[in-house]
Each structure stands twice: as C-alpha cells, then as structure tokens.
C-alpha cells in the first residue's frame, strides 16, 4: 500500500534495521524501543491488523508463529523469555495500520500490557 510506512520499509524505500526476512515476513528493530530488545514482525503483504489475518494466505498464517519464534531466538531472548503482542484498532492504540507483532525482551518486563 503506497502510503503505508511499514510497506515502505518492506520495499526498502525507508531504512530500517532488519533482523530477519523469510517466508513473507520481515523483522526489524522498533525505532522507539520499549525494552532492551524490541523487534517488530510484519507480513510483507499489507494487512491492517490481526482482525484481517484471513487476508494472509494459509502458508503465511502457518509461517507467522514459527517466524516470530525464530526472531526471538535470533535476538537472543529465547532463554530469558519474551513478550509477543499486537495492537488492533483505536482502543489498543494501534498507530501503524499494517499488522505487526511486537517482540519484547532482554529484561524483566512491566506487568502492564
Ligand atoms: P503500534 O502502536 O502497535 O501501532 O506500534 C507501532 C510501532 O511502530 C511503535 O512501537 C513505533 O515505535 C514503531 N515505529 C514507528 N515508526 C517506525 C520506523 N520508521 N521504524 C521502526 N519502527 C517504527
């Protein structure tokens, strides 16, 4: 989608610190990290939020969870533990309207979600 920030990152039009790219997903560091490790995982296909996950192919849906786990392992937070979260819609304060998973770790995280 032409006016989507994350689509521009995926296309390489806007720079990002990419960690991993595979199976239709890209992982890159959050520009404003809320934890020592804060990585965003996005599908290359533009999907607004988890509410629209049916717009991903079956293959993409199957790859999504394992890809997130691979990103956490690659970031070195697997043994210590990490949080995976996604915001959908205004009550969740979703800012970027392209499905993304926050992968947070590297320290004891706050109890609030
Ligand atoms: P959300 O509130 O779930 O939509 O989260 C959007 C996330 O995108 C926030 O954590 C932002 O810090 C992050 N973000 C915004 N712009 C960029 C960017 N250019 N590169 C990396 N992360 C970004």
Mean pLDDT over the full length of the chain: 97
Q: Is 31 exposed, middle or buried (0-12, 13-18, 19+ CB in 10 A)?
A: exposed
The span from the CA of 51 to the CA of 24, in Å, is: 18
98 is catalytic: no
CA of 78 to the centre of ligand 1 (A): 22
Q: One digit per residue, pLDDT tens: the chain, 113 residues?
A: 789 999 999 999 999 999 999 999 999 999 999 999 999 999 999 999 999 999 999 999 999 999 999 999 999 999 999 999 999 999 999 999 999 999 999 999 998 76
CA of 96 to the centre of ligand 1 (A): 7
The span from the CA of 56 to the CA of 49, in Å, is: 11
């Amino acid at each position: 989608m032409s006016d989507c920030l994350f689509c521009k990152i995926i296309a390489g039009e806007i720079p990002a610190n990419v960690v991993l790219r595979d199976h239709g997903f890209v992982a890159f560091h959050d520009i404003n990290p809320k934890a020592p490790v804060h990585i965003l995982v996005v599908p290359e296909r533009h999907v607004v939020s988890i509410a629209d996950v049916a717009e991903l192919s079956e293959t993409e849906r199957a790859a999504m969870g394992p890809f997130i786990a691979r990103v956490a392992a690659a970031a070195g937070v697997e043994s210590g533990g990490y949080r995976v979260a996604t915001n959908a819609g205004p009550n969740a304060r979703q800012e970027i309207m392209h499905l993304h998973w926050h992968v947070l770790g590297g320290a004891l995280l706050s109890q609030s979600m």
